């Protein structure tokens, strides 16, 4: 399936290029953005009472996008470097428990993980309809997933955002209903849990000060008593002048402390609830600041993945009662803090200074978690190619 989608995307891209060369309209253009971000700060682990360096969302992205014509467009986002503050991945292989070191986002490192190509797709938009083919964000509501990854203050992001492999190959059809009624979308894409094809249905709309991003995504279930697992996402936002209040809800949560590479995770999100609140104020194009809070709650037990026979995998230590790290019933934690963005250049938002501080994964059961603070800078070098 993945090879078929890649071939389709390449063929569609070539046809689009040929179409653009023959077109006589003036809707052509392309831009390349090179976006480095550097964060530095400190992390305090409450349980061990240890201080550690923190690189926040230090990363390097490129964004190449444009139009072949008035109807055809394309977008390619590459994620070349990423910071890591201790969740198991490539940096742990080199530097062990050191948190905050950057690493190459190597494709194929983890099963079905996001790799250095975040997305690569072409869109055909004749009138009110949009057809998109390629690697893209899975159809899901929630404004937390709306921002580019490089713009996210990751220490304040939900565990669900951190663990969800949201970039997958697929096809999306959307209809912008006239008179501002809303936008309805349907999508068929590879499942983020390696279970074949996922199907999604979404609704976007803006009605005065209220905006919504709602969706339902389904994929084949691992459990004998259900044919499909359903991911429900409800994003809601109120905007008054420079103030905005955003509430996202997901019927799933994720705690990466439990999701170790050795278990070849196929289920990176645990049944439960995620509630994300972000209250922000913007002063023209100079300063944005706000308060963000996240509540994660697990309400069921789930295996880490699948055995070689395709059955749910549960470590023997759990079955014997010697460990409980597959038991997510009642698991609950909180993340919250303050964030601020400042754009010091006159008449430009290319340069941004960002800061974030708060507590992450505060456990309601045992009071654990991390206290953190970072300060950083992001620069968007934008080059118009044609």
Residue 170 pLDDT exceeds 80: yes
- The domain spanning residue 299 has which CATH number? 2.40.160.10
What's the pLDDT at 76?
A: 96
pLDDT (tens digit, 9 = 90+) per residue, 35-73? 999 999 999 988 888 888 888 899 899 999 999 999 999
Of 90 and 253, the structure prediction assigns the larger pLDDT to 253
| Nearest residue to 166 via CA among 261, 226, 237, 233 | 233
244, part of any domain: yes
Contacts of range 208-211, beta carbons closer than 8 Å, 24 or more positions apart:
209/238, 209/239, 209/240, 210/236, 210/237, 210/238, 211/236, 211/237, 211/238, 211/239
Query: For residue 103, what pLDDT band results from cuts at 50, 70 and 90?
Result: low
Among residues 185, 148, 184, 182, which one has the least CA distance to residue 166?
148
75 domain residue, yes or no: yes
Give the separation between CA 173 and CA 90, rounded to whole angstroms.
36
CA–CA distances in Å: residue 334 to residues 147, 165, 293, 295, 365 = 22, 22, 7, 5, 11
- Report CA 25 to chain centroid distance, whole Å: 35
β-sheet bridge partners, residue 185 = 174, 202
**Using 50, 70 and 90 to split pLDDT, how confident is the model at 287?**
very high
Whole-number percent of the chain with pLDDT over 70? 69
The count of domains in the chain is: 1
The reply to whether 274 falls in a domain is yes
Residue 236: inside a domain, yes or no?
yes
Q: Tell me what pLDDT residue 81 has.
A: 82
CB 374 within 8 A of CB 347: no
Residue 282 resides in a domain: yes
Q: How many CA atoms lie within 13 A of 87 on its CB side?
A: 18
Tell me the C-alpha to C-alpha distance, in Å, between residue 120 and each of 31, 134, 185: 15, 6, 19
Domain, as residue range, for 185: 2-17+29-384
Cβ–Cβ under 8 Å, residues 105 and 75: no
d(CA 235, CA 215): 9
Percent of the chain exceeding pLDDT 90 equals 45
Q: What Cα–Cα distance (Å) separates residue 31 from each residue in 73, 75, 114, 225?
A: 12, 10, 24, 50
Please give the DSSP secondary-structure letter assigned to residue 89: S
Say if residue 221's pLDDT is above 70: no
22 inside domain? no
User: What is the per-residue pLDDT across 255-276, written as a single tens digit (0 to 9) for each?
Assistant: 444 443 333 333 445 567 899 9
* Nearest in space to 370 (alpha carbons), one of 356, 382, 359: 359
How far, in Å, CA of 226 to CA of 273, rounded? 19
Count of CA atoms in the C-beta half-sphere (13 A) of 211: 13
Q: How far apart are CA 237 and CA 246, in angstroms?
A: 4
d(CA 42, CA 360): 13
Sign of the CA dihedral running 144, 146, 151, 154: positive
* d(C-alpha 363, C-alpha 361), whole Å: 6
3-state secondary structure of 384: strand
Residue 367 lies in a domain: yes
Cα(42)–Cα(351) distance, integer angstroms: 23
For residue 311, pLDDT over 50 is answered with no
From 214-218, 266-270, 280-284, the region with the lowest mean pLDDT: 266-270
Q: What is the pTM of this model?
A: 0.79
Q: Residue 29 in contact with residue 66, Cβ under 8 Å?
A: yes
SS3 content of the chain, % helix, strand, coil (to 5): 15, 50, 35
Burial of 235 (0-12, 13-18, 19+ CB in 10 A): buried
Q: 317 pLDDT band (50/70/90 cuts)?
A: very low
- Quote the CA–CA distance of 291 and 293 in Å, as a whole number: 7
């Amino acid at each position: 399936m993945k090879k078929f989608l890649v071939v389709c995307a390449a063929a569609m891209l070539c046809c689009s290029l040929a179409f653009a060369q023959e077109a006589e309209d003036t809707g052509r253009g392309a831009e390349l953005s090179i976006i480095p971000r550097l964060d530095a700060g400190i992390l305090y682990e409450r349980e061990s009472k240890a201080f550690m360096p923190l690189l926040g969302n230090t990363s390097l992205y490129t964004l190449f996008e444009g139009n072949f014509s008035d109807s055809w467009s394309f977008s390619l986002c590459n994620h070349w470097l990423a910071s890591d503050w201790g969740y198991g991945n490539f940096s742990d292989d080199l530097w062990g428990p050191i948190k905050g070191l950057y690493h190459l986002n190597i494709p194929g490192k983890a099963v079905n993980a996001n790799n250095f190509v975040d997305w690569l797709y072409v869109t055909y938009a004749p009138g009110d309809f949009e057809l998109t083919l390629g690697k893209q964000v899975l159809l899901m509501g929630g404004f937390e997933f709306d921002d580019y990854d490089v713009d996210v203050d990751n220490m304040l992001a939900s565990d669900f955002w951190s663990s969800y492999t949201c970039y997958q190959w697929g096809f999306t059809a959307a209809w912008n209903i006239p008179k501002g009624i809303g936008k309805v979308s349907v999508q068929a894409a590879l499942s983020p849990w390696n279970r074949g094809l996922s199907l999604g249905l979404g609704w976007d709309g803006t009605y005065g000060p209220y905006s919504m991003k709602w969706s339902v995504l389904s994929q084949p279930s691992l459990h004998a008593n259900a044919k499909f697992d359903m991911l429900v996402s409800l994003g809601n936002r109120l905007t008054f002048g420079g103030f905005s209040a955003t509430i996202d809800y997901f019927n799933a949560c994720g705690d990466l402390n439990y999701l170790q590479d050795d278990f070849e995770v196929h289920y990176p999100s645990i049944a439960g609830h995620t509630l994300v609140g972000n209250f922000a104020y913007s002063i023209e194009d100079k300063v944005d600041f706000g308060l963000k809070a996240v509540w994660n709650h697990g309400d069921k037990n789930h295996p880490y993945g699948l055995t070689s026979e395709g059955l749910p995998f549960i470590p023997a230590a759990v079955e014997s009662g010697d460990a409980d790290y597959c038991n997510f019933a009642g698991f609950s934690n909180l993340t919250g803090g303050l964030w601020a963005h400042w754009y010091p250049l006159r008449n430009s938002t290319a340069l941004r200074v960002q800061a974030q501080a708060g507590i992450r994964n505060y456990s309601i059961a045992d009071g654990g978690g991390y206290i953190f603070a970072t300060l950083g800078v992001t620069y968007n070098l934008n080059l118009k190619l044609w």
